[in-house]
């Protein structure tokens, strides 16, 4: 079994010990490969142990090797330019609804499964909102972004919306100002108000007394947990 199933390289993901919590699965790369010992006749050595030209490689292997080379170059470039970019992960109500009761139980969302944006740090946040509008189809005037706060039990909750002063910053400045833990990513919650026709509506003004609530429902008969809605009060 080890020789046949565990020796082909690639990545392996260890199972989560507590899938209800928002724990990032641990992945590690396996470098070993399956092999076999082949005997050849002395008289055939020159035919088998010889130089290989590109035309001798099967087309599907050439395509795969070229893709691997391009992917390696892309990762190398991203690593070299990493200091110029910020990863912004944007969670929405749809993400919470899709995950609660399936992937998430005690938390609200797994940020590894939400839309991710690789944005230059010098980009104004207002321009990033335009990128979100193009990608998610939500016009900028209907967007309200919240910062997440990590609680003592390692779950996340939207903490407060961005202020107009914060939205006037660049992406890099906002990340530094909002990210007290100095994480590599900036996690945001995108609040959107939908009408009966499921089209975005203008968000109501928020005061310091307002709070954002998320409602979960547990059905004891079906033994299922699901998200009902979110509401500003």
* pTM to 2 decimal places: 0.64
pLDDT on residue 118: 92
Each residue of 28-39: pLDDT tens digit?
566 555 667 788
125-136 vs 171-178: helix axis angle to the nearest 10?
A: 100
Low-confidence ranges of the chain (pLDDT < 70): 1-35, 180-182, 198, 229-233
Each residue of 51-85: pLDDT tens digit?
878 888 888 888 998 999 999 998 888 888 878 89
Query: In sequence order, what are the beta bridge partners of 214?
Result: 230
Q: How far is CA 31 from CA 9, 34, 61, 185, 198, in A?
A: 5, 10, 19, 29, 49
The residue among 175, 188, 167, 79 whose CA lies nearest residue 125 is 167
**Largest pairwise CA distance in the chain:** 88
């Amino acid at each position: 079994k080890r020789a046949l199933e565990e020796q082909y390289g690639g990545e392996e993901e260890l199972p989560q010990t507590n899938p209800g919590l928002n724990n990032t699965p641990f992945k590690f790369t396996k470098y070993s490969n399956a092999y076999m010992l082949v005997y050849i006749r002395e008289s055939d050595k020159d035919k088998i142990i010889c130089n290989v030209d590109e035309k001798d490689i099967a087309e599907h292997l050439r395509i795969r090797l070229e893709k691997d080379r391009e992917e390696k170059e892309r990762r190398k470039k991203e690593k070299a330019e990493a200091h110029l970019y910020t990863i912004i992960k944007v969670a929405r109500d749809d993400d919470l609804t899709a995950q609660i009761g399936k992937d998430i139980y005690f938390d609200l969302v797994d940020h590894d499964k939400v839309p991710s944006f690789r944005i230059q740090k010098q980009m104004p946040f207002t321009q990033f909102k335009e990128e979100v509008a193009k990608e998610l189809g939500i016009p900028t005037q209907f967007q309200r972004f919240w910062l997440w706060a990590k609680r003592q039990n390692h779950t996340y909750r939207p903490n407060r919306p961005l202020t107009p002063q914060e939205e006037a910053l660049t992406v890099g400045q906002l990340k530094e100002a909002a990210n007290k833990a100095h994480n590599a990513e900036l996690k945001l919650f995108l609040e959107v108000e939908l009408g009966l026709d499921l089209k975005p509506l203008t968000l109501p003004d928020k005061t310091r007394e307002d709070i954002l609530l998320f409602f979960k429902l547990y059905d004891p008969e079906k033994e299922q947990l699901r998200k009902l809605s979110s509401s500003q009060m």
